[in-house]
Amino acid sequence: MWQGSGKVFIQLASVLLCAFEVAATARRLVVSPTTTFDVRSYGACADGITDNSQAFLGAWNAACSSSGDVMLFIPAGTYFLNPVKFTGPCSNVNTLTFYLKGKLKASTDLRLYDKGDEWIQFGHVKGLTLTGGGTFDGHGSAAWAYNQCPTKKYCHILPVSVKFMSLNDTIVYGIKSVNPKFFHFAVLGCQNFRASKMYMKAPEDSPNTDGIHITRSSGVVIHDSIIKTGDDCVSIGHNTTNVFISEITCGPGHGISIGSLGKYPDEGDVRDILIRDCYMSNTTNGVRIKTWQNSPSSSSVTNITYENIQMSNVGNPIIIDQTYCPDNLCDRDDRKVPSRVSISDVRYKAINGTSASPVAVTLNCSPGIPCQNINLENIQLNYVGGEPSTAFCAFARTRFSGPMIPLPCN
């Protein structure tokens, strides 16, 4: 089943990446669009203290109500910013470039954030480019102590640094994010979203600081980026299709994850995901699919490919975990009911390096809906402790080919 649709998808992903690079280069060359809106002309002050949210909104509204190809320009300097939403539609604008050269500094007063939603939102715009080499500084260290998610299954979520909401044809290039209160970036309900040359950093022990979280989106490319953080470098949520992730350097962090899935009712399926040419170092997981037990409804994960992934001292390099329950947040009843998320047509190819744990491959699938057509090819993962690495399989229909370290499990 995988061979036909999977190969077609890989070819499409390669074409998608090539088209993205051409489009991104073309847009970056447009450094002098028809009209430029400098935030300083709307009262912005780069002293790191003055709240610039209204000045930035004034520049955004002027650019959004303009026409043609426009640019909102933030020059060098540090700009303090309370929560702000840059929203469209921008009906007469062809492309809108948010050129961030300086640093944006987030407020640490959690009372200012609407139910912990986000610090900055870009929403309901077509043809947005975010670039300029600037930095989003979430000042998360002042908020991490208030994060209840590691101890409560249903928790009050802290603000995401930057949320992309319901965008079409978006390019993000050369942007940095440091110390978010929650996720660095969230991509929600977006179509044709391309990000590259990104840099994200947060302490290894910072809670829930996912690098890029993608959900309810399609046609997403994340390419050539460095992510050092306290949670997943990239996480893929429900109702997400056609995602291509490549050349990601990840670590520290929790690896690249699909999930967690199966926590909420009526979650959509995840399919057509290609992750390749990545490097992971000192992460707690490598490539992971995670689903909750006792899922309130059924969903599926299908046509997933991991290819040419290099691991260095990685815990759980390959893992499917359908009993996901961090920090024992599940009650006894939850543990009695298998996950209702079906997993099928997953391919692991050319995954090499070292495992920090003796069990280098874990395929712990749902006894209610066993995993189908899990293919492992040319896997060489040596345990750093010197003993032979092992594999664990439960309720998984697997196929092995080529050299295999660890030895295949049944």
pLDDT tens-digit map of 170-197: 999 999 999 999 999 999 999 999 999 9
Average pLDDT over residues 396-409: 95
Residue 2, pLDDT score: 47
**Active-site residue, 254 included:** yes
pLDDT tens digits for range 83-92 = 999 999 999 9
State yes or no: pLDDT of 1 exceeds 70. no
Residue 336, pLDDT score: 74
pLDDT tens digits for range 109-122 = 999 997 768 999 99
Q: What percent of the chain has pLDDT over 70?
A: 89
Average pLDDT over residues 92-104: 97
Q: Using 50, 70 and 90 to split pLDDT, how confident is the model at 156?
A: confident
SS3 string, the chain, reads CHHHHHHHHHHHHHHHHHHHHHHHHHHHCCCCCCEEEEHHHHCCCCEEEEECHHHHHHHHHHHHCCCEEEEEEECCCEEEECCEEEECCCCCEEEEEEEECCEEEECCCHHHCHHHCEEEEEECCECEEEECCCEEECCHHHCHHHCCCCCCCCCCCCCEEEEEECCEEEEEECCEEECCCCCCEEEECCEEEEEECCEEECCCCCCCCCCEEEECCEEEEEEEEEEECCCCCEEECCCEEEEEEEEEEECCCCCEEEEEECCCCCCCCEEEEEEEEEEEECCCCCEEEEEECCCCCCEEEEEEEEEEEEEEEECCCEEEEEEECHHHCCCHHHHHCCCCEEEEEEEEEEEEEEECCCEEEEEECCCCCCEEEEEEEEEEEEECCCCCCEEEEECEEEEEEEEEECCCCC
Enter the pTM of the model.
Answer: 0.93
Q: Using 50, 70 and 90 to split pLDDT, how confident is the model at 148?
A: confident
Residue 21, pLDDT score: 56
Residue 244, pLDDT score: 98
State yes or no: pLDDT of 43 exceeds 70. yes
pLDDT tens digits for range 302-350 = 999 999 999 999 999 999 999 998 766 777 666 678 999 999 999 999 9
